[in-house]
Structure 1
């Protein structure tokens, strides 16, 4: 074999090997789960402040548009929430923010709304929201209208640090992101932010 032929063969072999590597890289990127767009969009305006315990109702309204206030029953206890609708990642979502109230404020609201345990969700006057703009958001849940594929969760947060069995399925816990995902039957039903990473 002449030196010239040897150089040609080495060049062809190198080109083929490079093509295989590039094809493999393309396949890996194509099959990689795509992260949820809203997570990055609201990272600085919502998720980091809520983890730092600094997110207020007014800031949530500024990020997501003015929400609608509801008085709900959460495990038999009253809670005031603000709800927002948004479209992202080819589906509709509801964001639900739990507003922190003092004991006297909650008692007053319970009386004004004639709230009782187990009662259906009740709308609350927007004027209440205007008066409570500086109140802290304790936690916020992102709830897809249709359940979400688990690979989208893993593409956004990675593998869960902890998987906890719950009454219906599992809770995937991501302490560094301050998030807990409700999982059942190989699908995700909600993503709650507000978990404090104490590590």
Structure 2
């Protein structure tokens, strides 16, 4: 005689627990996502100087620690980059700064590295970084160890000025005023690039 009421109470209790779970989940989804920590943390030291054209290799090394220099081939053209890893928002982020070199310095580096088009990434001596510490940084890319939900991007950078279709299911979100481009696929972001040309 007492089994049915107990079973009924257990069922009711389970339904209440499930309903509360979905309610809490819904409330959490409705909250504005918090900005990602790297945005504010490096605003004064990196993002503002980069946007204003004042960021140097030494200027990136100071807040991020001395990076590792590499010669890379991009569309068969040489680039000198400095690479870093930062931790933010429970993720590891690969950071790559592209260093601006004049024709003479790039030619000298190509010769020293015996670089040819299509060559795999080559490590460059730290002494080169010391010599080029004052060189300007053209752009900086951030790549998270896992894709980031686009709502976190909106919570950090706001709504983009433009959404450009790149290929099926892939978009480039352009933030012209801050000189940033975000690579988006579906509801996830895969990389962020600061230093968009013409944004200054």
What is the TM-score when the length of structure 1 is the normalising length? 0.82
Matches within 5 A, 1:130-141: 130-141=130-141
Structure 1: which 5+ residue stretches go unaligned?
1-26
CA distance in 2, matches of 1:197, 1:145: 27
Aligned counterpart, 1:182: 183
Seen in structure 2, the aligned counterparts of structure 1 residues 91 and 176 have a Cα distance that, compared at 3 Å, is same
SS in 1 for 2:48: helix
Aligned counterpart, 1:122: 122
Deviates more, 1:167-176 or 1:71-80: 167-176
Aligned counterpart, 1:17: none
Aligned counterpart, 1:163: 163
SS in 2 for 1:197: coil
Q: CA RMSD in A?
A: 1.6
CA distance in 1, matches of 2:91, 2:30: 21
Aligned counterpart, 1:197: 199
Q: Would you say how many aligned residue pairs link Structure 1 and Structure 2?
A: 172
Aligned-residue offset at 1:28: 7.7
Deviations 1:105-155 (A, max 9, x none): 111111111212221111100000000000000000111111111111000
Aligned-residue offset at 1:185: 3.0
SS in 2 for 1:33: coil
Displacement over 4 Å in runs of 4+: 27-30
Deviates more, 1:159-168 or 1:55-64: 159-168
